[in-house]
Amino acid sequence: MKKRWSILSAVLCVALLTGGCGTGSKNDAGTGKEQTFSHETREGNEHQSNLDVLQPSAYGNVQGLNLEKGSSISIIGRGSSSAYWKAVQEGAKQAVADINTNLGYKGNDKVKLVYSAPETENDVDDQVNILDEELARYPVAVGIAAVDSGACEVQFDLAAENGIPIVAFDSGTDYQNIVSMIDTDNTTAAATAASKLCNSIGESGQILVIAHDSKSTSSEEREQGFVQEVEKNDPNVTVAEIWHLDDLDAISKEINADSSEKNSQETADNVQKAEEENADSRDTQTAQQDAIKYLLEKYPDVKGIFATNETVADLVVNVLDSMDKTTGEDRIKVVSFDGGEDQMKLLEDGKIDGLIVQNPYGIGYATVVACARAVLGQGNEATVSTGYTWVTKDNMNKDSIKKMLY
């Protein structure tokens, strides 16, 4: 059963992000400048700095968003349990609370927000079913972080027929009539991660890219941005292989073909088990870790790994721990997206070398603003950039960085 929260209006104060100061990578080529967060606030909103970095700036406030009383906005994420998705929810809830405060709506007159997400993160079928159910409620607008960029076309057509605008956030879609895309500049951020990782391994050697899926635009953009930066500016670094967490079937076949050793056969059995119809999430996680271990055995000279989100980073570090490759001479460097408390602990322990910290609070807030603008016919920017910054063990204890956690 999917997890769902219906929020009539609530102002929940959880310290997420404030400022950090950062610049681009070692050579700026292909990476641009990071959008960073000032820790100054205004008007009593401790998260105002998260909104100040939104570009265009109009998406950081609710002025002029005079929605009708009782309007309902549906926000559909790819998950709900991780720190990242919780921060997205907080930003969205704050935007709705600000709209209600600004318009003086109370009780049943309040604008409503429904946040929904698959029970298992990145479950395509569950997300499609959720979208069907939400459209049946006739919300005034829908914001969605698409698990599969090619899915939901029928549902989006139905929404268009009923005058329900669709805003994409975090992960885009191939559908042509999306009114706006709210996200991190994944390509530029991933290029920053590539530059930093290549620097940390001495600008030579093999690295692996482990991506969270093969279907979402966020995963694709991060993968491409990382690889393009390496190819352009680090000719002595080789991306040995790119593997996606949902490619278990393909790697299972590869492991089976190379199963002359007992350990390889055991790994193949675990991976194949996760492909069975009734495999649970623990089976899948074990199989994913076995697959990562297989890749590290396949490429024994790997010096670094790029993980495209916190789920991947956790899996990678678990595997490296089991192989005694998080410390000492055999240590493999790791950089990742996301900046929850677990990731910061790994950073502090020296098991992760750097993090691309996004602005999920700003993403949630701007998504609601874009939905409201679309409903009111105010027009939207095709893309709204929400910023990111680079965090390491050297700067993680700065006050401005601590307030960025989500």
In a domain, 398, yes or no: no
What pLDDT score does 77 carry?
97
The reply to whether 368 falls in a domain is: yes
Residues 46 and 141 in one domain: yes
In a domain, residue 331? The reply is yes
| 53 and 112, same domain (yes or no) | yes
Q: What is the pLDDT of residue 49?
A: 84
Which candidate, 59, 105, 70, places its Cα nearest to that of 378? 59
**Each residue of 99-147: pLDDT tens digit?**
999 999 999 999 999 999 998 888 999 999 999 999 999 999 999 999 9
Verify that 107 and 75 share a domain, yes or no.
Answer: yes
Predicted local distance difference test score (pLDDT) of residue 235: 97
* Residue 235 sits in the same domain as residue 175: no
Answer whether residue 214 is part of any domain. yes
d(CA 397, CA 293): 32
What distance lies between CA 273 and its chain's CA centroid? 28
Q: Calculate mean pLDDT across residues 366-378.
A: 99
Q: Are residues 150 and 191 in the same domain?
A: no
> Which residue type occupies 128?
V
Q: 212 and 100 in one domain?
A: no
Query: What would the mean pLDDT of 62-75 be, rounded to a whole number?
Result: 98
CA separation, residue 123 to residues 126, 128, 146, 216 (Å): 6, 9, 10, 11
| Same-domain check for residues 116 and 16 | yes
Boundaries of domain holding 269: 186-357
Examine the fold and report which residue of 357, 380, 399 is the final residue of a domain before the chain moves on: 357
pLDDT in tens, 321-370: 999 999 988 899 999 999 888 899 999 999 999 999 999 999 999 999 99
| Same domain (yes/no): 162, 15 | yes
Q: Is the pLDDT of residue 375 over 90?
A: yes
Q: How many domains does the chain have?
A: 2
The least confident of 67-76, 140-149, 253-262 is 253-262
Per the domain annotation, does 235 fall within a domain? yes
Do 376 and 348 share a structural domain? no
Whether residue 241 sits in one domain with residue 340:
yes
On whether residue 397 sits in a domain, the answer given is: no
Is 261 inside any structural domain? yes
Residue 155 is part of a domain; what is its CATH number?
A: 3.40.50.2300
Tell me: do 168 and 22 sit in the same domain.
yes
Indicate whether 215 and 346 sit together in one domain. Answer: yes
Of 359, 15, 374, give the one whose Cα is nearest residue 185: 359
Residue 394 lies inside a defined structural domain of this protein: no
